[in-house]
Structures are given as structure tokens and as C-alpha cells.
Amino acid sequence: MAEEIESIQCPCGRVIEDPEDYKVVYLKHELREIDILCPNDSCYLRELGYIRFDIVEGKAKFKEASFYPPFVTWNSGRLGAEKAEVLLKDHLKRIAKRVDWERLGRTEEEAE
């Protein structure tokens, strides 16, 4: 049985089947932006996307999330634009679910 390429892959070669694999780091405090990083430590792209949020009454609230063009284009080329979009959207949704929004809100309060 021929196995079809069904998984999201980083241009560095790392296959990302499970959205749990992404590294999520919060460094850009002023921008209220969370970076989505490739699980491969020696990846030349490193940043694959971002999640932005607002602080409303001390609580972090999801604003938008997106992957960067090199990552999207790479996967569209491999899987087809439609399929890549569906898979990537699902990944973003699941990454956003992993974020501890309550804790994020508290961190922001302490920083101010």
C-alpha cells in the first residue's frame, strides 16, 4: 500500500503530525504575540507562525493566529492549497487550545 503524503512538514524536513510538537514561546510581551516554533532545534526557519492576543480586564483573549508564508507555501506545494489550508487551520486551532490563557493574563498584569 503506497502511503500518501498527508502530513504537514516544515521546509527544514521535520514532519509535524501532531500539533503538540510545535514549540510555543512567549517572548514578545510588548506585541502580545506568541511565537510558534519548529520542533527541530536546528531549523533554519525557526518561527513558523504566531498567535496574537488582547488583554481584556486582566484576561488574555485570543485575537488572531497565522502561519508565515514560507511554511504555508511549502505545504501548499506538497499537499495542495486546499488540503494544506484545512490542516494548517486545524493545527492553529489546536495550538491555541494549548495556551494557558488565564495564566497569560496574570503574567501580563504582573508585568505592568
Q: Report which residue type is found at 40.
A: N
- Choices 23-31, 42-50, 62-70, 78-86 (CB under 5 A): range interacting with Zn ion: 42-50
- Choices 18-26, 30-38, 51-59, 81-89 (CB under 5 A): range interacting with Zn ion: 30-38
Min dist. Cβ of residue 50 to Zn ion (A): 15
- Choices 10-18, 56-64, 76-84, 101-109 (CB under 5 A): range interacting with Zn ion: 10-18
d(CA 1, CA 40): 29
Task: Using CB under 5 A, pick the residue from 8, 10, 51, 65 that binds Zn ion.
Answer: 10
Positive or negative: CA dihedral 89, 105, 101, 22 = positive
- Is 37 or 55 the residue whose CB approaches Zn ion more closely? 37
Alpha-carbon Rg for the chain in angstroms? 15
Orientation angle between helical segments 81-98 and 69-79, nearest 10 degrees: 130
Would you state the cell numbers that stand for residue 20, as one nine-digit string? 503538540
- Is 49 or 53 the residue whose CB approaches Zn ion more closely? 49
Say if CB 51 and CB 65 are below 8 A apart: yes
- Which residues in this chain contact Zn ion in the complex, by CB under 5 A? 10, 12, 14, 38, 40, 43
